[in-house]
C-alpha cells in the first residue's frame, strides 16, 4: 500500500525515540513525577515547614492527627515526625546518588578495561571482581563504616565499594560485544589511541544498558544507606529516614507511626527510581519496544 508522506516513518534521533517510548508508559511517568516530588520536598520543604527535626517540640509518642502543631505525631523524644520526613530525605538522596556514582565509575572503568583488552587483563580484573562478590555487601559496608567512622562521605564510599561488581560485569559484556564491530575497527584503522576508542567510541554505544543499571543502583544504594542508618551506622547528627526507623524501633508496639512513615518514604523513593529504571529499560531495549 502506498503511503502518503505524513505516514512515512520519520528518522528520529535515538534519544527522542527513547523518550517517546518512555513517556508512553504511565508507570514510568508516574515514577518520574514521584521522584521529582520527593526531591522537591527534600530541597524546598525545609524552607516552608521550618520545624527543626531534632528539636523536642511536643509530648513524646504523640499519635498523628491528635495535635495540630505536630500533624504526623512525635517520636520517642517528642521530635516532630513530619519535620523528620521532610529533612530526612536529603541525606538519603545525597548518599544514594553519590554512592551510585562511585559504583558506576568503578564498575564502568573496570568493566571497560577488562572487556576491551580481554586476555590476561580481563582474567585478572574478573578475578578481582569475583573476590569482591564473595563478600556479603552489607556486612562489608558495615565493617568499612565501623572502621572508618560513620560520616556521609565514608558511607557513600563504602556503599560504592561494595556494589560495583554487577556494573563491572555488565560493562564488560557490552564492551566485548562492541569491541569488534565495524566502526570500532574503523577507529582502530585510523590508529586511534586505546583510551579514545574506549571512552569516545565504545562507551557512548554501551551507555543505554549502563544508564538503566545506574538508575537501579541509585535505588540499591538508597536501600543500603537506609539499612546502615537503621543499624546505627550513619552520622547521628544528621536526620535520615533509616536512622528514624532504627531509633524508633523499640517503641514500635506503642507507636506504629514512628517506623511506618519513614519506611514508607524510603519505599516510595526506591519505587520511583525503579519505575524510572524500568521505563528507561523499555525505552532503550528495542526488543521489547513493540510489546
Near another protein by CB under 8 A, which window of 8-16, 72-80, 147-155, 175-183? 147-155
Q: Is 208 one of the binding residues for another protein (CB under 8 A)?
A: no
d(CA 135, CA 12): 45
Buried b (16+ CB within 10 A) or exposed e, 240-279: bbbbbbbbbeebeeebebbbebbbebbeebbebbbbbbbb
Q: Is 100 one of the binding residues for another protein (CB under 8 A)?
A: no
Between 62 and 201, CB nearer to another protein: 62
Residue 128, class by beta-carbon neighbours within 10 Å (0-12 exposed, 13-18 middle, 19+ buried)? Answer: middle
Q: Is 252 one of the binding residues for another protein (CB under 8 A)?
A: yes
Q: Which residues contact 14 (CB under 8 A, 6 or more apart)?
A: none
Q: Which of 233, 238, 243, 280 binds another protein (CB under 8 A)?
A: 233
Three cell numbers, residue 52: 527543626
Max intra-chain CA distance, the chain: 76
Q: Is 242 one of the binding residues for another protein (CB under 8 A)?
A: yes
Q: Is 131 one of the binding residues for another protein (CB under 8 A)?
A: yes
Indicate the DSSP class of residue 202: I
Q: Which of 21, 227, 235, 247 binds another protein (CB under 8 A)?
A: 227
- Give the CA angle between residues 108, 145, 107 to the nearest 5°: 5
Between 116 and 230, CB nearer to another protein: 230
| Shortest Cβ 22–another protein spacing (Å) | 18
Interface residues with another protein (CB under 8 A) are: 130-131, 133-140, 142-144, 146-149, 219, 223, 226-227, 230-233, 242, 245, 249, 252-253, 256, 259-260, 263, 266-268, 270-271, 274-275
Amino acid at each position: 500500500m502506498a503511503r502518503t508522506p505524513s505516514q512515512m516513518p520519520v528518522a528520529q534521533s535515538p534519544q527522542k525515540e527513547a523518550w517517546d517510548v518512555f513517556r508512553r508508559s504511565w508507570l514510568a511517568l508516574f515514577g518520574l513525577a514521584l521522584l521529582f516530588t520527593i526531591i522537591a520536598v527534600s530541597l524546598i520543604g525545609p524552607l516552608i515547614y521550618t520545624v527543626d527535626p531534632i528539636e523536642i517540640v511536643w509530648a513524646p509518642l504523640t499519635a498523628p492527627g491528635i495535635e495540630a502543631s505536630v500533624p504526623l505525631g512525635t517520636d520517642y523524644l517528642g521530635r516532630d515526625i513530619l519535620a523528620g520526613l521532610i529533612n530526612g530525605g536529603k541525606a538519603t538522596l545525597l548518599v544514594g546518588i553519590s554512592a551510585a556514582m562511585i559504583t558506576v565509575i568503578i564498575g564502568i572503568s573496570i568493566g571497560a578495561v577488562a572487556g576491551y583488552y580481554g586476555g590476561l587483563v580481563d582474567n585478572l580484573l574478573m578475578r578481582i571482581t569475583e573476590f569482591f562478590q564473595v563478600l556479603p555487601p552489607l556486612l562489608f559496608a558495615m565493617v568499612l563504616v565501623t572502621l572508618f567512622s560513620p560520616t556521609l562521605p565514608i558511607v557513600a564510599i563504602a556503599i560504592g565499594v561494595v556494589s560495583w561488581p554487577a556494573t563491572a560485569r555488565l560493562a564488560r559484556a557490552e564492551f566485548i560485544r562492541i569491541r569488534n564491530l565495524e566502526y570500532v575497527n574503523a577507529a582502530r584503522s585510523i590508529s586511534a589511541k586505546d583510551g579514545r576508542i574506549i571512552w569516545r567510541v565504545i562507551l557512548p554505544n554501551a551507555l543505554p544498558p549502563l544508564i538503566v543499571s545506574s538508575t537501579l543502583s541509585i535505588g540499591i544504594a538508597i536501600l543500603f544507606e537506609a539499612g546502615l542508618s537503621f543499624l546505627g551506622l550513619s552520622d547521628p547528627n544528621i536526620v535520615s529516614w533509616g536512622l528514624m526507623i532504627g531509633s524508633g524501633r523499640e517503641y514500635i508496639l506503642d507507636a506504629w507511626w514512628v517506623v511506618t512513615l519513614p519506611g514508607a518514604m524510603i519505599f516510595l523513593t526506591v519505587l520511583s527510581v525503579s519505575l524510572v529504571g524500568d521505563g528507561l529499560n523499555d525505552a532503550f531495549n528495542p526488543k521489547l519496544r513493540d510489546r
